[in-house]
Structures are given as structure tokens and as C-alpha cells.
Amino acid sequence: MSPFGVLEAQRTLVAALRRGKTKPGMAPINLRETRMITRRHALLLVGAALLPGHALAQGFPSRVIKIVVPYPAGGPTDALARIVAQELSSALGQSAIVENVGGGAGAIGTRQVAKAEPDGHTLVLSTNQTHATNYILLKDPGYDAKDFAAVAGLADLQHVLVVKNDLAAGSVAEFVEQAKAQPGRLNYGSTGNGSASHLAMELFKAKTGTDLVHVPFRGAAPMAQELVAGRIDAAFATLPSVLGQIQGGTVRALAVASAIRAPQLPDVPLLAEQGVAGGEADAWIGLWAPAATPPAALAKLTQAVTAALAKPELRDATVKLGIAVNLREPKAFDRFVEAEIRKWAEVVKAANVKVDG
């Protein structure tokens, strides 16, 4: 019966009771109590009829699932999105596709998902930029944390402190010593003003008391090229963007800015192992849906994604991409992101980082 049919039946019952139409032998009716009971029953029945959870648990997904990557095609974020899409297709019995919507420091594609129908069929593969530092650096990204519901934290992109080959520093201690000996002489590259690589170095500078000159680039590729050419001295770069150069011997890795060593570079020590505590600066990737997405749909998505990325063969595939799978369930991911926003807000404030937009 539809909710409207339920209401009509309740109205008919109440009307009959008001007229005193009862069967012989029945006890006298307290109309006031009866009205309260029938109205309560009507509300409960209507509420049950309108609950979406049961229907979604049975019928979700009912059409193609779209994962928006708020960056151009190519690169580790896009690659991970395509792995996730393939796994969702297999697990949920519906096609899942990736749509690249780049621009605006990831804000354009992220904003599109914030305003999408909250039914679980439109998701965004987020990063530390879209769901943390954009809130701090952009005047108005066009969305807010409250506009999203977490599906899961998926993976980390570890930052590596790399230096040009002819720099006379074989360790973090030697690098810091050289920087302190000639403040403002050494420079470092980043993938752009306010980018994760920029903020990672600002955090490092604060922890070590060093002064280095910032040279921003438009992305990881030109930054890596200039480092190989020896025109910049150092950089914090995500592992996928410099792994080939490190393995090829055209740049040197001094440290990993993470809580765990990189599986691709097991012999490269952590910053913390070299005396720099609190310098962890992983970039990270997560999956989000619009905020009002029903819990049943979110639960299905979370289960499918976490089961997929727990597969040893998929973990091996991500390692080859330079990605470290780091699954976080939704509540834990929410807490992690909140802590990240607070952390990077302090770095931005202390370094007076400004961006356009």
C-alpha cells in the first residue's frame, strides 16, 4: 500500500470510531485515546513506507556509477580511479566509469559531485587538496566538508625528499647543515603555490629551522625535469612522479616524509629516522559521495571498495604505480581528514602561504 493509501485507511477508521460504529459486545471507546493511537500508527506506517534504506539495499545500484576525478587524465589518482571503477563494476553488477573534470585546483569536479543527486551513483575520488587544503587556501571552492559523505580512505602518495645529484648532501642531516650554513642560498621546487609538495617543504623548514627559496612549477613533470637538469636543488615530490628518476640514478632520495617506509624504496629512511619528528606529509586519496546519500548505498560502496583494495594482486598493482594502499573506514577517515585540515591550516598560517582564487 502506498503512503497515501495508508493515510486514507487511517482516516476512515478514525471517522468510523468518531461515529461510534463498533461491533456489539465491544467495550466503550475512548475517542481521545483512539485518536492518539491511530495517528501514531499512521505516522509510523508512513515513515516506514518512505524509508529508502530497504529499497536501496535491494536495488542499488540501478544504473551506471560515475567516479569523477577532479584532475586531467593520467597520473596515479586517475589510475587508482580506474582500478576502483573496474572493481565496483564486478562487485555490484553495474558499470562504473571514470570522468575527468580538471581545473580550479580540483575544485571544479569536486563541486560538481557536491551538487549531484545524492543516490550513490555519482562519486568523487578526492585528494588532500580537494578535501583539506582547498578549504584553507581558496576563498570559495564552491563546496564544503558538510557537502560530502565518506565512502572510504583509499591510499597514500608518499612524499620523498629528493635532491639533485651534484648536491653535496648524502643525508637529511647534511642537507639541513648546508641549508643553515647559507640561509636562502638553496632552493626547492614544488608543483605549484599551495600544492602538497610546497606545504611539505614548508613543514620541513619549520621543523628544521631552515631557509630555502621556493620555485613553483606547473606540475610534477617540469619540476622533475629541472631537478634532473640540476637547476633546482631539492624538492618534496610524490613517489610516482620521481620513482623512475630515483631508480634511474638521475636524482637522489634522502628521506621519505611518511610514517612508514616506501615499499618501492625500502632502503630510503624516514625523516623521523633521521631526527626530523613531525615532518610526515603524505598526500592521500579517498572516495566520497554527496552528503545526503542513503546509508544503504554508502555501505554497499564501502564494502565493495574495501574488499577490492584488500586483494593482494591489487595491492601489488598499486605499489607498481607508486601508491600505498591505506584503507580507512568512513568514520576513521572523517577523523583523519579533520586532523589534516587543522594540521595544514597551521602550516599555511605560519608560512603565510597565499594562492590566487
- The pLDDT tens digits of the residues spanning 211-253 come to 999 999 988 999 999 999 999 999 999 999 999 999 999 999 9
Q: What per-residue confidence (pLDDT) applies to 46?
A: 43
Burial 79-109 (b: 16+ CB within 10 A, else e): bbbbbbbebbbebbeeebebbbbeebbbbbb
Is a pLDDT exceeding 90 seen at residue 87?
A: yes
pLDDT band at 133 (very low <50, low <70, confident <90, very high): very high
Is a pLDDT exceeding 60 seen at residue 2?
A: no
Q: What per-residue confidence (pLDDT) applies to 173?
A: 98
Is a pLDDT exceeding 60 seen at residue 47?
A: no
Is a pLDDT exceeding 70 seen at residue 45?
A: no
In the chain, what are the domains? 3-50 (no CATH), 57-157+283-351 (3.40.190.150), 159-274 (3.40.190.10)
Is a pLDDT exceeding 80 seen at residue 13?
A: no
What gap in Å lies between CA 58 and CA 60, rounded to an integer?
Answer: 6
Q: What per-residue confidence (pLDDT) applies to 279?
A: 97
Is a pLDDT exceeding 60 seen at residue 23?
A: no
How many Cβ atoms sit within 10 Å of the Cβ of residue 348? 19
pLDDT band at 357 (very low <50, low <70, confident <90, very high): low
Q: What per-residue confidence (pLDDT) applies to 310?
A: 93
322: left (phi over 0), alpha (psi -120 to 50) or beta: left
pLDDT digits (tens, 9 = 90+) for 263-286: 999 999 999 999 999 999 999 999
pLDDT band at 35 (very low <50, low <70, confident <90, very high): very low
Cell digits of residue 108: 571544479
Cell digits of residue 195: 600544492
Mean pLDDT of 128-154: 96
Q: What per-residue confidence (pLDDT) applies to 156?
A: 95
pLDDT band at 356 (very low <50, low <70, confident <90, very high): confident
Under DSSP, is residue 179 helix (H, G, I), strand (E, B) or coil?
helix
Listed residue (48, 52, 46, 47) closest to 117, CA to CA: 52
Q: What per-residue confidence (pLDDT) applies to 58?
A: 62
Name residues whose C-beta falls within 8 Å of residue 255's C-beta, 6 or more positions apart in sequence.
160, 161, 172, 268, 269, 270, 271, 273, 274, 276
Is a pLDDT exceeding 80 seen at residue 11?
A: no
Q: What per-residue confidence (pLDDT) applies to 75?
A: 86
